Amino acid sequence: MKIAFFDTKNYDKPFFEQFKKNNMKIKYYETKLNEDTCSLAKGYDVVCVFVNDDINKNVIDQLVEYNVKMIALRCAGYNNVDIKYCKDKILIARVPAYSPYAVAEHAIAMLLTQVRNIHKAYVRTKSFNFSLSGLEGMDLYGKTIGVIGTGKIGKIFIDICKGFGMKILAYDKFPSKLEKTEYVDLDRLFCESDIISLHCPLTEETHHLIDKNSISKMKEGVILINTSRGALIESKALLEGIKTKKIGGACLDVYEEESDVFFEDNSNFIMDDDTLALLTTMPNVIVTSHQAFLTKEALSNIAMTTIDNIVAYFETGECENKVE
């Protein structure tokens, strides 16, 4: 089996080399898979891709022409793949649950950093400034947190929030039976939540779920957390909400236009994205570079499951993690 591995990062290769089978040959490309780079997949049986590779109709047609038999996603989300167009042309498999604890714990870490001003204190004490002025925080105990999306990650996030003594409001199209969790409609969740955390997939329905209209329904000073997909939040509406102090803080591990920015060192370049540039200057905005998944446990699970998906398809013609 010959596998073309796109958007390779330095942390990917050791884990995939550990789990790959003897009959596998992997070619690692740093470039992302898109219409301009698709020719690199010629002669390979599988392409292995990540969240910012662009698998549109033209790319799919090229892959089929090259006789590529499988698109192996090493992530849970697949909004960057034209799933409908792939049907009956090429198989797609994903990693549905590589480490929900990693993402949920990162969301909590960002929240704690935000409400206790840990990021500000860290910078100050590096310069031997031990003043407490401006570092007043907020208790999580007794606060209402709205959780949008109660899949595996959302449920773990809720369990952690219960440990802080928080009141849980939740929204999901397919509610689960969760203790000390009240399922409500989105309008009530927006109106009553002190903190809102997003744990839902990006679909046509959830695109810009957080926009000017939904922000207008929220409490003054609400804190938003997004560790799912950037386009769940309309970035310009978020920026305006922060500038008007309607939004008291934002914790963003993802960003709407992250594909050409995140995962790369852009420290020597001028940021072209004015919205992102402004967001990162705000004292009440914490941005991390799509790293919520990045734990040793998660990377190991991603590599193992991706390899297992490939083996299962080539040995049986089927794969339990296929996307339809």
Whether the per-residue pLDDT at 259 is higher than 90: the answer is: no
Whole-structure pTM value: 0.90
Q: Tell me the average pLDDT across 46-54.
A: 95
What per-residue confidence (pLDDT) applies to 76?
A: 87
Q: How would DSSP label each residue in 103-165?
A: HHHHHHHHHHHHHTTHHHHHHHHHTT----TT------TT-EEEEE--SHHHHHHHHHHHHTT
pLDDT in tens, 269-316: 999 899 999 999 999 999 999 999 999 999 999 999 999 999 999 999
Whether 84 and 78 have beta carbons less than 8 Å apart is answered as no
What per-residue confidence (pLDDT) applies to 192?
A: 98
With bands split at pLDDT 50, 70 and 90, how would you rate the model's confidence at 264? Answer: confident
With bands split at pLDDT 50, 70 and 90, how would you rate the model's confidence at 187? Answer: very high
What per-residue confidence (pLDDT) applies to 260?
A: 78
With bands split at pLDDT 50, 70 and 90, how would you rate the model's confidence at 42? Answer: very high
Q: Do 100-287 and 2-98+296-316 have the same topology in CATH?
A: yes
Which CATH code fits 2-98+296-316?
3.40.50.720
Pairwise CA distance, residues 296 & 288, whole Å: 18
Question: For 100-287, which CATH class?
Answer: alpha beta
Q: Tell me the average pLDDT across 7-25.
A: 95
Can you tell me whether residue 42 is helix, strand or coil? coil
Whether the per-residue pLDDT at 169 is higher than 90: the answer is: yes
Alpha carbon 6 to chain centroid, angstroms: 18
Half-sphere exposure of 122 (CA within 13 A, CB side): 6
Domain residue limits, the chain? 2-98+296-316, 100-287
- Higher pLDDT: 131 or 76? It is 131
Active-site residues, by number, are 229, 258, 290
Q: What is the β-pairing status of strands 285-287 and 247-252?
A: parallel
